[in-house]
Structure 1
């Protein structure tokens, strides 16, 4: 039985959920609507409820899971704030015929650069944010990074070799490629 995913293909939150389902090899049906959902809670549920399927996105080891949890919090509390605002200003506003606020872009670009410096340090010690295995901590970043890679903001990621390698790895995952192919407008 397929899980129904309600949302819009432009939504990073919806893409986050679909990427998790693809990683877990869970069949789903996409239902187009325009609403906001709490994708992080949904991905947590999927990762736990279907722990025995597809890519392991969580760990049974409490110490490893604590590290993954830290980085999922960093993504939601630090990274997403600036990255989502940049995505809205540079990607979404032009699609909607709105004018990009360059002051907002400059501010959040500087903030994101600081956050990516922390990521560069972490990724110099491990392949992924949560350790040596791909996890929800990495998955949660994919939709927004993908949006930003089509903009001038990509240079912030590419300027940091470990961050750049990590981005190329997570954006190249087969599950994400399926999401991209299935959710085109």
Structure 2
């Protein structure tokens, strides 16, 4: 049975990082577009896969998983011996990875989401942007990246010298910031700038952006 990815048709959010994990691991998949405006994610059939009615969801020969970070871990574990490693093998290295992944989830992601809500979410709903709130959100992310500057001064990526899921999780929304006029990711210290440029130049990411979430 073909590996299926159910997600919105955008190279962003949880669907984007799952598609990127699949690309890094060289796993073929069938993309099933979910029309959020038509509430396809709230149908009884979809709710049977994801009780919260959200995307993404994967169906791997009847094994259904939701929540993007859990899905990415599943992909990295199942296909450990092909493509990019994504998960360290040693026990200490794995703990450092989990530490870095927790930093993304608890510090980076909340700050980015605040910017996304103000700079992108409000205009889509026809609401005016509160510049003061946007400036505050950008300042919060900038402060988080100041800490990243210290961490990335010790090794090439967040969890060490190898690219892992801890880095990959940052692709969910941060690449959209520059397009919205918030160029904070590429305008920090040398370590953050180097790291971010490395992420944006990864072949799997460049190819995914160009091709979109089509069936592979």
TM-score normalised by length of structure 1: 0.91
Partner-residue secondary structure (3-state), 1:82: helix
Shift in CA distance, 58/157, structure 1 to aligned 2, threshold 3 Å: same
The answer to whether residue 171 in structure 2 is matched with residue 152 in structure 1 is no
> Structure 2: how far apart are the matches of 1:96 and 1:2?
37
Q: Match for residue 36 of structure 1? A: 55
Q: As a proportion of its length, which structure holds more helix? A: 1
Shift in CA distance, 156/16, structure 1 to aligned 2, threshold 3 Å: closer
Q: Match for residue 209 of structure 2? A: 180
8 Å CA contact 1:71, 1:129 repeated in 2: yes
Shift in CA distance, 98/180, structure 1 to aligned 2, threshold 3 Å: farther
Larger Rg: 2
Q: Match for residue 59 of structure 2? A: none
Partner-residue secondary structure (3-state), 1:154: coil
Q: Match for residue 128 of structure 2? A: 99
> Structure 2: how far apart are the matches of 1:157 and 1:136?
20
8 Å CA contact 1:2, 1:26 repeated in 2: no
Q: Please list every run of 5 or more consecutive structure 2 residues that lacks an aligned counterpart in the other structure.
A: 37-53, 57-66
8 Å CA contact 2:122, 2:128 repeated in 1: yes
8 Å CA contact 1:9, 1:15 repeated in 2: no
The answer to whether residue 97 in structure 2 is matched with residue 68 in structure 1 is yes
Give the total of aligned pairs.
185
Q: For 2:85, which of 56, 61, 64 is the aligned residue?
A: 56
Matches within 5 A, 1:15-34: 15-33=16-34, 34=36
Shift in CA distance, 107/75, structure 1 to aligned 2, threshold 3 Å: same
Shift in CA distance, 176/92, structure 1 to aligned 2, threshold 3 Å: farther
Shift in CA distance, 98/182, structure 1 to aligned 2, threshold 3 Å: farther
> Structure 2: how far apart are the matches of 1:53 and 1:96?
42
> Structure 2: how far apart are the matches of 1:143 and 1:173?
15
Deviation sequence 1:54-103 (CA, Å, 0-9, x none): 10000111111111111111101111001022123223443454432323
Partner-residue secondary structure (3-state), 2:20: helix
Shift in CA distance, 2/170, structure 1 to aligned 2, threshold 3 Å: farther
Q: Match for residue 115 of structure 2? A: 86
8 Å CA contact 2:115, 2:138 repeated in 1: yes
TM-score normalised by length of structure 2: 0.79
The answer to whether residue 171 in structure 2 is matched with residue 171 in structure 1 is no
Instruction: Report the alpha carbon displacement of residue 32 of structure 1 after superposing the two structures with TM.
Output: 1.1
